[in-house]
Amino acid sequence: MPVLLTNNYSGPYHLCPALLITKAEKILLLAGMEDHELSLLLLDDPAMQEINRQWRHKDKATNVLSFPQGQDDAFDQHPMLGDIIISIDTAQREAQDNGLTLHRYLTTLLVHGFVHLLGYDHERSDDDADEMFALEHSYLTAIETRRTKMVNLAINVDHVATLRQARGNTEPDPVTAAAIAELAGAVGIVVHLREDRRHMQDRDIEILRKTVQTKLNLEMGATEEIIKIALNLGPDMVTLVPEKRAELTTEGGLDVAGQKAKLKKVIARMTKKNIPVSLFIDPDSAQIQASKEVGATFVEIHTGRYADATSEEEEDKEFLLIAAAAEEAYESGLRVNAGHGLNYVNAGRIAALPTIEELSIGHAIMARAIFTGLDQAVREMVDICRFA
């Protein structure tokens, strides 16, 4: 086990130990030291202050400290490189000041601590500092591979069908809405064919399969009837969601960890037909790992609790959960989408997360479209994605 992580932090900020271990392992690999061990200790400001006071006679907390093991030139005899100690309280404050999510900033601290373990020291001289920062930059660039384009916007047109079904006639037609959304810049159309057919009808998805020019994403519960329809239809992808008859809208993420065998089979059937599968999950490490295990191509991170937050503090907390989950899923090799409850105020922050490929948005855009027209409503959301 090359990275030994001890988490003594019990404060309010969510930590994803698996993600930090992955990052530390990547750093070891980049340095050609994957056969060495590294100890990583996470704690709070008072504990960091105590260590700083005891070992460096500085009576204050700091962001990161490194303590090499043994002599600098004796790595071969000492497979344990040393300890990197990080204060999460200070890291979170600095992350916020730098406009970074906590886990992205922790990566920069990890790299900084690691380079210190190698014997570099920016406090020795300007030349040493230049050399150390250049090495850190090269490690960070190699580790933080990210999306280079803007986030994609996929439009959910279910609400257009809901309005039509309210009268049981033929308008408004979600097929027309999908075409307008594509012309306005959406790069995907999402439709949820529910078992009770409360909004989208079989006729809608059959026409959309022929008319959608970008990408048709069929959202569905994993029931046999809908699975057969999906296999026959051949959408560009499917998103599996939990579906309850009594709910107004999808209420939570799929419990992938609790039904791995079933989902594995469904995904295998879709894969045979070349239909990539996305799993709609809460921002939760266990669900991400399970999604990877069952063979999903994508996860869609549920942003509902973030969108429904009633205070800035709660919104920040939910945002950090999403940011860490997106990063963890991305690092594990999954492609990452996000959606639910996103609107013109809260979507920008999610769109700016560089590990997220696509946002799936419906209600807020249709609500605005009533007053501004659908074309305008989609364009405004495309702009939010573009400038995030």
User: Which residues are at the interface with ligand PXP (CB under 6 A)?
Assistant: 156, 158, 192, 219, 239, 241, 249-250, 280, 300, 339-342, 360-364
Question: Is 340 known to be catalytic?
Answer: yes
Give the number of other Cβ atoms within 10 Å of residue 304's Cβ: 18
Query: Min. distance of Cβ 152 from ligand PXP in angstroms?
Result: 13
Query: Min. distance of Cβ 254 from ligand PXP in angstroms?
Result: 9
Q: Annotate 13-82 with DSSP letters as a single string.
A: S---HHHHHHHHHHHHHHTT-TTSEEEEEEE-HHHHHHHHHHHHS--S--SEEEEE-S-TT-GGG--EEE
Query: Min. distance of Cβ 380 from ligand PXP in angstroms?
Result: 14
Whole-angstrom distance, CA of residue 382 vs CA of residue 107:
30
Closer Cβ to ligand PXP, 7 or 249, answer by number: 249
The SS3 assignment for 124 reads: coil
Position closest to ligand PXP via CB: 362
Query: Min. distance of Cβ 119 from ligand PXP in angstroms?
Result: 49
Closer Cβ to ligand PXP, 354 or 362, answer by number: 362
Closer Cβ to ligand PXP, 45 or 300, answer by number: 300
Question: Is 50 known to be catalytic?
Answer: no
User: Do the Cβ atoms of 179 and 211 come closer than 8 Å?
Assistant: yes
Catalytic annotation, pick one of 300, 340, 357, 358: 340
According to DSSP, the β-strands at 64-68 and 80-87 are antiparallel
What DSSP element (H or E) covers 322? helix 312-331
Alpha-carbon separation of residue 281 from 263, 323, 337, 379, 383 (angstroms): 13, 14, 10, 28, 27
User: Do the Cβ atoms of 20 and 40 come closer than 8 Å?
Assistant: yes
**Maximum distance among all Cα pairs of the chain, rounded to whole angstroms:** 80
Catalytic annotation, pick one of 219, 318, 327, 357: 219
Query: Min. distance of Cβ 180 from ligand PXP in angstroms?
Result: 17
| φ/ψ bin of 141: left (φ > 0), alpha (ψ from -120 to 50), beta (otherwise) | alpha
- Residue 336's nearest CA partner among 306, 304, 303, 308 is 303
Question: Is 57 known to be catalytic?
Answer: no
User: Do the Cβ atoms of 183 and 210 come closer than 8 Å?
Assistant: no
Catalytic annotation, pick one of 36, 103, 192, 302: 192
Query: Min. distance of Cβ 42 from ligand PXP in angstroms?
Result: 33
Q: In this structure, what token pair is assigned to residue 99? A: 């406009």
- Dihedral of alpha carbons 94, 96, 99, 105, sign: positive
Catalytic residues: 192, 219, 340
